[in-house]
Amino acid sequence: MSRSHAPALPDRARVEEAAWWLSGRVVRTPVLNCPAIDRLAGARILLKAENLQTGGSYKMRGAMLAVGRLAAAGHTGVVAQSTGNHAVAVALAARRHGLAATVVLPVDAAPVKVARARAAGARVVLAGTTVDERLAAARQLAAADGHPLVDAYDHPDVVAGQGSASLELIEEAERAGTPLDALVVPVGGGGGVAGACLAAAGTPIEVYGVEPVGCDSLARSLAAGRPTPVVPAPTIADGLRPGCVGELPFAVARDAVRGVVRVDDDAIAEAFRLLLLELKVLVEPSGAAGLAGALRLAARPGDPDGAPGDAVGGRPGRYRTVGVVLTGGNVEAELVARLAGGTVTDPARMEGVAA
């Protein structure tokens, strides 16, 4: 499934440049640690709190960089599509730079994300439930308006911007004297994990993606050697259901990512509760999936040198410090109540489940 025309691959220098450009334009979010989570994991877990980012997610980084450069080039508007957080981020970035924004969201998008995109001043268009349907609508709108499309995954500035969160986490862990052995990032379209791979390039840090069971396009793509679409299964992690990893993120991650950890909704819900009750931070399920993956990785029930694209753990003693990017915190109040109470029911009733 092609989303773009073979964009040039970014590198670590581009992530460093993005981090420099974004300094003062986005929040440098804190790195958090919780002794109770460390004890459970049997390793130090450092959590990059991008749920506290402007717009509620790390998507603000890539959107701010991409939209800022388009504004500098003289564009007067932008178009984007996503399951929610990228649309919110593009809307906010466009408002910051004085551009018009049109964002395409699935018809079953999480209401909180639709509301935040509208509150940021964007024109919101609801289209279908799959990424192909949203892309078709976004491309038509971009052509009609004469505005560029800021792709959620297949855009070098988006990948580099997302990577700046991982770069900050790596740098802060080193300054604290606890350098990362592994870095874990939830995977939707793959921009975040690709950015993490670039940020970790030239270091011994092993990068892992995390995908919900049944929404494992990256794992299947690694096994197949090419971007491989899936029919996403229902999950409480609405932001991790794009249908297919992006071509650009796959090209970056293919030879750089150590593996993929698959997690189910029960594991995501438990990670959500740990973050809420032990660390006292509110993270959406898509972000909590990163901690769920890190806990499984640290538990070492297996060896990541097994099946391609499927990592379930490391060798005993392999990881002393694991970094996790908590990618977002835009979550419905009803879902918070259900998960905090220990209830996992039909995902379609709790949060948007758009592919």
pLDDT at residue number 307 = 36
How many angstroms separate the CA atoms of 299 and 184, rounded? 14
Q: Is the pLDDT of residue 8 over 80?
A: no
Q: Are 7 and 155 within 8 A, CB to CB? A: yes
**pLDDT of 132 above 90:** no
Residue 338's pLDDT band (cuts 50, 70, 90): very high
Over residues 171-190, the mean pLDDT reads 97
Residue 220 CA, distance from chain mean position: 18
Pick the more confident residue, 83 or 246. 246
pLDDT per position as a tens digit, 59-116:
999 999 999 999 999 999 999 999 889 999 999 999 999 999 999 999 988 898 999 9
Residue 86 DSSP label: H
Of all residues in the chain, what percent carry a pLDDT higher than 90? 79
- What does the CA dihedral 88, 251, 184, 103 come to, rounded to 10 degrees? 10
208: left (phi over 0), alpha (psi -120 to 50) or beta: beta
- For tokens 């931070």, the residue is 281
